[in-house]
Amino acid sequence: MKSYRADSSLQKEWFVVDASGKRLGRLASQVAAILIGKHKPQFTPGVDTGDYVIVINTDKLVLTGNKLDKKFYYRHTGYPGGLRATKYRDLMANKSDFAFEKAVERMMPKTTLGRDMLKKLHVYTGPDHKHEAQNPKALDL
């Protein structure tokens, strides 16, 4: 029996996802699976078989429980004592697209292939996007 190995010449589709009213983590994991290509029967772990995803309305994402006040986004300046923490309440109010991108990025493979897959993600805070020419299909997750 021969094993199947997809090549990167597979047809890639464009999907648009409306994030209004959805939970941040659940939506991020579903989008990551589409970017990786796990929804396709031709999925091969070492090949980029995923599709392009456009996420709109990230300003209307929901965090359940007390995560808005108890969850922090950490970054380091590179200097001693340079750890900076931002509450997710402030992060979601000011940069909700960045918060969603980081959530998806942390669910992707930590390799050069994973970084290439992440380039197929396009995130917007409002309902408008600039990818109408690709004719994206609406995807309800």
Q: What share of the chain is helix, strand, coil (3-state, %, to 5)?
A: 35, 20, 50
- Select from 1, 6, 15 the least CA-distant residue to 40: 6
Domain span holding position 20: 14-62+95-131
Residue 112 lies in a domain: yes
Q: Return the pLDDT at 84.
A: 98
Residue 105 lies in a domain: yes
The total number of structural domains that make up the chain: 1
Q: What residues contact residue 31 under an 8 Å CB cut-off, 6+ apart?
A: 17, 53, 55, 104, 121, 141
Q: At 73, which helix (H) or strand (E)?
A: strand 72-76
**pLDDT per position as a tens digit, 9-19:** 788 999 999 99
CATH at 105: 3.90.1180.10
Q: What's the predicted TM-score (pTM) here?
A: 0.93
Structure tokens at 83: 């750890």
**pLDDT per position as a tens digit, 98-118:** 999 999 999 999 999 999 999
